[in-house]
Structure 1
Amino acid sequence: MDGEQYEPQATDGKAPAARRRWPLRRGTDRTGRRTPLRMAGVTLAVLLVTLAGVTLGVLAGGRVDTDIGPFQATLTLTPDTSGGTTVDIPPLGALLLDSHDGPTHLTVRLGALDQGRTEALIDDPASIQRASISAVEDVRSGVMRLGLRTVASAVLATLLLAALVFRNVRRTAVAGALALGVTLSTLGAAAATLRPQAIEEPRYEGLLVNAPAIVGDARRIANDYSRYAEQLQRLVGNVSQLYTTVSALPVFEPAPESTRVLHVSDMHLNPTGWQLIRTVVEQFDIDVVIDTGDITDWGSEPEASFVGSIGVLRKPYVYIRGNHDSARTAAAVARQPNAIVLNNSITTVAGLTIAGIGDPRFTPDKNTSPAGSGLTQQVADQVIGAGEQLAQTIGRSTRPVNIALVHDPASAGPLSGACPLVLAGHTHARQVSKLPEQPGRMPTQLLVEGSTGGAGLRGLEGEKPTPLSMSVLYFDRDKLLQAYDDITVGGTGEAQVNLERHVIQDPKAGEQVPVSPTPTR
């Protein structure tokens, strides 16, 4: 028979004429030992099963969820020949770090911001420094848990696969031991070649390709912001002193029935702006806060929790979307109990009738540029068209509009004569002007606010950071602008607060008297 050999069998006690040969196992010699070819085949099979099991185990179990500072993050290990780390920040893009060598790639995906931890950072500037320290520990702890989970998953997957393929305890055990050795050596190689300095030299993908131009050197900005946070308490205290001084100025004394509006714009995710806003709201007895947009930088989901401080103000908060704010950002603002989001609509708050429209663009990857400069004709038509839409809405209104809100001053032109005052932002620089008058229509004044967030991280890029700015507007009983105070908080290294008071000589004409003396602290 095929595959069988016969040993001769004795029939009469003498040398047998023919012997029957017992069957031998394939891949063995006459003594029953495995041949080299069979041993090589078994070894190769064990190695292949081990590699397959390790790969499946890493893909299936090499993942942990952890908290990194205020972020909820997911850490993932995947097989890769080049190593390295990817920090994924949806929808902005990714940072690619040459962090280590070896056949493993680490992906850190930042998810939503935890509201409680984010509010704690905003409320306590000192906690920013503590959070930066704890974030390192968070990453280290998460990576350790990820490593242990990956090893366990790889070994378990290999044991299960080997048991199904071989159905042999010994070979299954060998495959499991090999899986343990392969996984530990791979992770050990990554740890041995770790380069912490790689975080200082990232490569960018997606919208983040503009990050170097926008924020400059990350280390210097972090140092500048740390210094800035240390100065915050003194700056906020100066605002309180400033109000006491300004109250005694003889040039203008707001009447008790005056309506006081705080105009802010272009916060750009700077938490120090909220500290200043809260102080001014309390000290100046503000009735309404008006925000002309760009409260965020990228309009992403993680940034949405930044607007949670609106509710803490406990004052009506009227907001329009800027070009850095998404529809998601506007929805997050609208969820605040005291917020009103205007988008080609009108509202009445504290006796003031306010109309507003959001910026027609969503360009989070663009730097701020002066109004009307560098715009293509199509974009210019969009921006001006927004002002035309709002002018038509005001024209259909049955009640006179006191204030119109646009983000880009380029949208203000069509609003000339539609209402006495237009507020805008976008340029990160204060500007006061009169719109060209329309025959037979009321004069319209345009007030462009600077950046209440100091232009965010961009403001720390230059040698002199962008100051934080906001304005307090005083309206008389007829809801006409009587005066306004321009408040400016100096940047890093300039621990001072300035206030300039401007009095409108003829509120109906929008003419001003000379600026009063400027208290400085």
Structure 2
Amino acid sequence: MDGHENEQPKTGRPPGSGWVGRLRRLGVALAILVIGLGGTVLGVLAGGQVDTDIGPFKAKMVLTPSVTGGTTIDIPPLGALLLDSHDGPTHLNVELGALDQGRVEALIDDPASINRASQSAVQDVRDGALRLGMRTVGATLLVTLILAGLVFRNARRTAWAGGLSLVVTASSLGLAATSIRPQSIEEPRYEGLLVNAPAIVGDARRIANDYTKYAEQLQRLVGNVSQLYTTVSALPVYEPAPNTTRVLHVSDMHLNPTGWQLIRTVVEQFDIDVVIDTGDITDWGSEPEANYVGSIGLLKKPYLYIRGNHDSTKTAAAVARQPNAIVLDNATTTVAGLTIAGIGDPRFTPDKSTAPAAGGLDKTTADQMITVGDTLAKTVRESPTPVNIALVHDPASAGPLSGTCPLVLSGHTHSRQVSKLPEQPGQMPTQLMVQGSTGGAGLRGLEGEQPTPLSMSVLYFDQDKLLQAYDDITVGGTGQAQVNLERRVVEKPKEGAPVPVTPTPTR
């Protein structure tokens, strides 16, 4: 052997420079492209999401690949808003979740903070979007590098794939950022129950503009309740005895945070023993709304509740979780010496107006309401302890309760009314007290020319658990900055005296 047998013949071209080499390089380039783009997509799906706070809401922001771009704001279970907010190739999905209880309580304590919260919500979205973008870039780069490393086992090719992923992700996010259309929020498309929103969007904008002024006015009015108590406690017409049981009757809160502040003020100033809520604490009965009931626990007093037609079973369950709450649904309980029976509204019609139809209830609904009254009346009659108060949401259910107990409380109509139920000879007389809206009918209460007033009543029961007097409290409304209280002494059964009325307005 001369040592030259293993030498290859020289062709004058470097190895791999032929068509086979070109195909190989093309294959590597295509592989880098596929791995880079695949890693980018997988990275977006795996890491393109972030949890953030938007105002009082906890929200999730998610990026997904899309040709058309745009934003979807999910508001479960109501539906979604579709915004033409930016161009592709990324789509932003914002899902509003539970309310943050701490932030909600701050809004309740300081209604003026609602304005600040609405202003900070824009910054919250920007901060969340920035964190989402950075997280997405990091996730896509990491996933691509790992995937390329496993496939190529070559540092140079892995770096090329990672660089490609970084360029694609950054350019996609850059295109979305430079094509943002802020005005798109004013021209949304609707899905789900929100398809009805365009019919009221004009009122909603006006309500949003006016609410801060309205809330600040109510803030001042709530403070006047203390003056009311000082004034009315000195009235000679009726002076509650030391063993008097004081019950606060509220109804139809409809998510108004100012209502909680008013309730807390009255509970403290009037030394309330029990709070009774005859329903419609929420508007849609949705899971995010259920966080609104967290303020019940702050009252530190027994809170009796029945479900209204705007409250879902989830709403009732959220109320039941409060440490001081009792949910009645065709049941009785004894609190502060009072035996109370209650039943929830059988309907769940959150999209229905509370205003009664011109022709009244249709026959099917009327029969349904009477059936509910009959059911509760049977429970009251079978109670081993005589029932002092019966609770129904809709006064249309009160008729069958005549003669079963001295007092029936209800709400639903947003209009305060006191009457006696028709009675048969020899029956116990039964009084029906319909409460107004403690939440001023919620935001819908601002749709008219004048806001709906916030209404509640303090009921005074003697040692025999009979109603002796009640104070009707009205805050705001009718376009006047006033708090009004009217004390009414009920007819004394033994003496048959007429009902004296002593109104006490405070401005």
For normalisation by structure 1, the TM-score amounts to: 0.87
Range with greater deviation from structure 2 (71-80 or 149-158): 149-158
Quote the residue 2:22 is aligned against. 34
Tell me, in whole angstroms, the C-alpha distance in 1 between the residues paired with 2:387 and 2:197: 40
**For the residues of structure 2 that align with 1:338 and 1:153, how far apart are their CA atoms?**
46
Output the CA distance in 2 between the equivalents of 1:347 and 1:252: 29
Q: Which residue of 1 is the match for residue 227 of structure 2?
A: 241
The residue type equivalent to 1:392 in the other structure is K
Moved more, 388-397 or 465-474: 465-474
User: Is 2:83 aligned against 1:93?
Assistant: no
For the Cα contact (< 8 Å) 2:387–2:405, is it kept in 1?
A: yes
Q: Which amino acid aligns with 1:362?
A: F
Match of 2:388 among 402, 407, 413: 402
Q: Which residue of 2 aligns with 1:207?
A: 193
1:151–1:183 Cα contact (<8 Å) kept? yes
Deviation at 1:399, TM superposition (A): 2.2
How does 1:15-414 map onto structure 2 within 5 Å?
A: 28-29=18-19, 34=22, 43-213=29-199, 217-370=203-356, 375-414=361-400
| Inter-partner Cα distance in structure 2 for 1:511 and 1:75 | 66
Opposite residue 34 of structure 1, the aligned amino acid is R
Distance 1:518 1:324 in 2: 33
| Contact 1:76–1:107 (CA under 8 A) maintained in structure 2 | yes
Shift in Å, 1:319: 1.1
User: C-alpha displacement at 1:196, in angstroms?
Assistant: 2.0
Which secondary structure does the structure 1 equivalent of 2:502 belong to?
coil
Q: Distance in 1 between matches of 2:195 and 2:370?
A: 29
In 2, Cα distance between the equivalents of 1:306 and 1:402?
30
What is the distance in 2 between the residues matched to 1:68 and 1:495?
33
Matched, 1:494 2:484: no
The 1:58–1:375 alpha-carbon spacing in structure 2 relative to 1, beyond 3 Å, is farther
Instruction: Output one character per residue of 1:412-432: Cα deviation in whole Å (capped at 9) or x when no partner.
Output: 111111112111011111122
Residue 84 of structure 1: how far off its partner (Å): 1.4
2:434 corresponds to 1:444: no
SS at match of 1:340: strand
Q: Does the aligned pair in 1 maintain the 2:148–2:158 contact within 8 Å?
A: yes
* Equivalent residue letter for 1:499: L
Q: Deviations over 1:391-430 (max 9, x none)?
A: 0001111222111100111111111111121110111111
- Cα–Cα, structure 1 residues 383 and 209, in superposed 2: closer, same or farther, change >3 Å? farther
Counterpart Cα distance in 2 of 1:107 and 1:176: 26
Corresponding residue SS for 1:125: coil
Q: Is the 8 A contact 2:218 2:476 kept in 1?
A: no
Secondary structure at 1:472 match in 2: strand
Equivalence for 2:409: 423
> CA contact under 8 A between 1:502 and 1:512: conserved in structure 2?
no
Q: CA deviation at 1:296?
A: 1.6
Cα distance change of structure 1 residues 66 and 347 upon mapping to structure 2, 3 Å threshold = same
Residues 176/500 of structure 1: CA separation in 2 closer, same or farther (3 Å cut):
same
With over 3 angstroms needed to count, the CA separation of the structure-2 counterparts of 1:137 and 1:412, relative to structure 1, is: same
Taking a change above 3 Å as real, the CA distance of residues 512 and 208 of structure 1, as seen in their structure-2 partners, is farther
State how far apart, in whole Å, the 2-side matches of 1:180 and 1:511 are: 87
**Deviates further, 49-58 or 270-279:** 49-58
TM-superposed deviation, 1:467: 1.1
The alignment covers a number of residue pairs equal to: 501
- DSSP 3-state at the match of 1:190: helix
Aligned to 1:6: none
Structure 1 residue 375: Cα displacement: 4.5
Name the CA shift for 1:487/1:159 in 2 (closer, same or farther; >3 Å). same
In 2, the alpha carbon distance for the partners of 1:143 and 1:509 equals 72
Q: Percent identity?
A: 77
Distance 1:214 1:374 in 2: 24
Stretches of structure 2 lacking an aligned partner (at least 5 in a row) = none
The 3 A distance-change label for structure 1 pair 84 and 51 is: same
For residue 146 of structure 1, report the CA deviation from its aligned partner. 0.6
Q: 1:213 to 1:251 in 2, by over 3 A?
A: farther
Give the match's secondary structure for 1:47. helix
Q: 1:511 to 1:172 in 2, by over 3 A?
A: farther
Amino acid at match of 1:479: K
Match of 1:435 among 421, 431, 437: 421
State the 1:71 CA deviation: 2.3
Which one-letter code corresponds to 2:474 in the other structure?
T
Contact 1:78 1:106 in 2 (8 A): yes
The CA deviation at 1:339 is 1.9
Q: Is the 8 A contact 2:218 2:475 kept in 1?
A: no
Secondary structure in structure 2 of the residue aligned to 1:464? coil
Alpha-carbon distance in structure 2 between the residues aligned to 1:96 and 1:111: 17
Alpha-carbon distance in 2 for matches of 1:28, 1:147: 44
Residue in 2 that maps onto 1:4: none
Which residue identity lines up with residue 426 of structure 2 in the other structure? G
Contact between 2:490 and 2:500, CA under 8 Å: does it hold in 1?
A: no
Deviation of the 1:514 alpha carbon:
5.4
Give the distance between the partners of 1:220 and 1:324, measured in 2 at CA.
24
Q: Secondary structure at the match of 1:516?
A: strand
User: Does the CA-based 8 Å contact 1:216-1:461 persist in structure 2?
Assistant: no
Measured against aligned partners, the alpha-carbon deviations of 1:80-106 in whole angstroms (never above 9, x if no partner) come to 122111122222322222221221111
Say if 2:419 and 2:431, in contact at 8 Å, map to a contact too: yes
Alignment RMSD? 2.9
**1:79 partner letter:** P
Over 3 Å counting, the alpha-carbon distance change for 1:86 and 1:493 in structure 2 is: farther
For structure 1, list consecutive stretches of 5 or more residues without a partner in the other structure: 1-9, 12-18
Higher mean displacement: 204-213 or 228-237: 204-213
- Cα distance in structure 2, aligned partners of 1:337 and 1:158: 51
* In structure 2, C-alpha distance between the alignment counterparts of 1:389 and 1:357, rounded to whole Å: 9
- 1:64 Cα shift? 1.1
CA distance in 2, matches of 1:386, 1:398: 21
Q: 2-side partners of 1:471 and 1:165: how far apart? A: 74
Determine if contact 1:432/1:447 at 8 Å carries over to the other structure. yes
2:22 partner amino acid: R
